[in-house]
């Protein structure tokens, strides 16, 4: 029994010893997984010399290692705010808008009528005469109107009331972009630009122009520009011909703006020169509407005949002079004298310049010396040959032969 117990105790003792050895070997492997910094420190300790052994411990105790601190990054919101602040600071301050010029009570009124393009024209004219106190622009356009849909808005029925209400000095008209649709003629719908359609449409345009002629109000009609659609541009050209004929019949002014919105080949353009010749965007992305620069360009075309009618009222200094000093604008004389004959023209001196020859006559040139004698002036002396001021051509004479003539030839017997 004792022998068995001894064997059991020996076996358990061996197991305990093996467990202790295994635990002692596993502890360094589990606890001593060194990092890079610790491995470097371990190598330094292995390379210590006698001096480090004597004084190194005291130095290490005096200089404890400082824990590494991480730098915190700024929050994203603050970075975005700083970027916005820097962008705001870098942007140049915009100049304040110029003060609005107060219009005079008796300023001349420019009445703008038509569709949505006329509304843009009114904006351009307002910018053009913003500094003219003697000119006021009144916009009475209707964006969706036209001469076809008189059931929506009847220009011929409304024009008399508008003229009486506004009392304009001059009327500017621009219309036609909404008129590419069927027209009801005698209860029948006619296709655009058909024969019956053109007759009815022309009559409506002439009726409108006649209403202004009756009131003796000057009429300026702006033509239509080209559009992105080729078929629409073709219709606009036909409309412009109708407007031009009707307006000139009542002594109005038709303004052709077509070339300002096409290229050299007559094609539609989105970008082109503005009123100053600088390339700008003239049309909207739909190829129909006008941009701010495009509206100003149309107004630039209309300004030329409009300034002739407004006269000195367009001057920025008219507020100091007063409108009373300006001449009265008269379009048609009350009693014009008929011109049925021409004044007689003198055949002996048609140009009243002292000449005696009619146009086309061949005049014989007068020599320089003779011209001076006929005018009573002293004739210039003739330059002597050989002098520096003698520029006359000299003829070279044929030189004579200096060789004496030989004896005459004798006849041979």
Three-state DSSP class for residue 364: coil
- Model confidence at 286, pLDDT cuts 50, 70, 90, reads very high
The verdict on residue 87 lying in a domain is: no
Angle between helices 230-249 and 195-214 (to 10 degrees): 40
pLDDT exceeds 50 at position 2: no
pLDDT exceeds 50 at position 413: no
Contacts of 306 (CB under 8 A, 6+ apart): 110, 125, 170, 172, 220
The verdict on residue 131 lying in a domain is: yes
For residue 206 the two structure tokens come to 């002439």
The verdict on residue 393 lying in a domain is: no
Domain ranges, residue 302: 108-325
Out of 26-40, 148-162, 216-230, 253-267, pick the least confident.
26-40
| Cα–Cα distances in angstroms (integers) from residue 188 to residues 145, 170, 182, 207, 223, in the given order | 21, 37, 10, 21, 29
- Tell me, what's the pLDDT at 32? 47
The verdict on residue 343 lying in a domain is: no
The verdict on residue 159 lying in a domain is: yes
The verdict on residue 247 lying in a domain is: yes
Q: In CATH, what number is assigned to the domain containing residue 216?
A: 3.40.50.1110
pLDDT digits (tens, 9 = 90+) for 361-406: 666 665 655 555 555 555 566 667 777 777 776 666 555 555 555 5
Strands 271-273 and 279-281: antiparallel
The verdict on residue 255 lying in a domain is: yes
Three-state DSSP class for residue 35: coil
The pLDDT of 85-114, averaged and rounded, is: 75
Total domains in the chain come to: 1
Rounded-to-integer distance, Cα 125 and Cα 302, Å: 8
The verdict on residue 198 lying in a domain is: yes
What phi, psi does 65 have (nearest 5°)? -70, 140
- Model confidence at 236, pLDDT cuts 50, 70, 90, reads very high
């Amino acid at each position: 029994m004792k022998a068995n117990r001894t064997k059991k105790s020996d076996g358990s003792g061996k197991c305990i010893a093996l467990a202790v050895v295994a635990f002692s070997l596993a502890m360094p492997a589990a606890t001593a997984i060194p990092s890079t910094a610790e491995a470097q420190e371990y190598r330094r300790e292995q390379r210590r010399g006698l001096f480090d052994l004597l004084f190194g411990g005291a130095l290490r105790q005096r200089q404890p290692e400082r824990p590494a601190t991480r730098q915190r990054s700024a929050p994203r919101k603050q970075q975005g705010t700083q970027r916005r602040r820097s962008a705001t600071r870098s942007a140049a301050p915009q100049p304040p808008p110029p003060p609005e010029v107060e219009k005079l009570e008796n300023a001349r009124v420019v009445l703008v009528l038509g569709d949505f393009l006329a509304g843009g024209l009114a904006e351009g004219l307002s910018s053009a005469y913003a500094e003219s106190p003697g000119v006021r622009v009144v916009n009475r356009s209707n964006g969706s109107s036209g001469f076809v849909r008189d059931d929506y808005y009847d220009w011929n029925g409304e024009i008399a009331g508008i003229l009486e209400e506004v009392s304009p000095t001059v009327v500017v008209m621009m219309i036609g972009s909404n008129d590419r649709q069927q027209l009801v003629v005698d209860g029948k719908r006619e296709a655009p630009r058909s024969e019956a359609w053109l007759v009815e449409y022309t009559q409506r345009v002439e009726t409108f122009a006649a209403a202004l002629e009756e009131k003796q109000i000057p009429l300026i009609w702006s033509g239509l520009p080209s559009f992105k659609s080729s078929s629409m541009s073709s219709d606009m050209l036909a409309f412009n011909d109708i407007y031009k004929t009707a307006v000139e019949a009542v002594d109005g002014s038709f303004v052709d703006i077509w070339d300002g919105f096409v290229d050299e080949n007559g094609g539609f353009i989105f970008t082109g020169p503005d009123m100053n010749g600088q390339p700008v965007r003239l049309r909207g992305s739909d190829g129909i509407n006008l941009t701010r620069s495009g509206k100003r360009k149309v107004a630039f075309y209309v300004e030329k005949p409009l300034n002739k009618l407004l006269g000195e009222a367009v001057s920025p200094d008219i507020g100091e002079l007063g409108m009373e000093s300006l001449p009265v604008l008269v379009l048609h004389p009350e009693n014009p004298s008929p011109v049925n004959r021409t004044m007689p023209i003198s055949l002996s001196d048609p140009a009243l310049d002292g000449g005696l020859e009619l146009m086309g006559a061949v005049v014989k040139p007068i020599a320089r010396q003779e011209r001076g004698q006929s005018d009573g002036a002293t004739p210039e002396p003739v330059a002597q040959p050989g002098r520096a001021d003698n520029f006359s051509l000299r003829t070279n004479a044929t030189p004579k032969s200096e060789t004496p003539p030989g004896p005459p030839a004798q006849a041979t017997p």
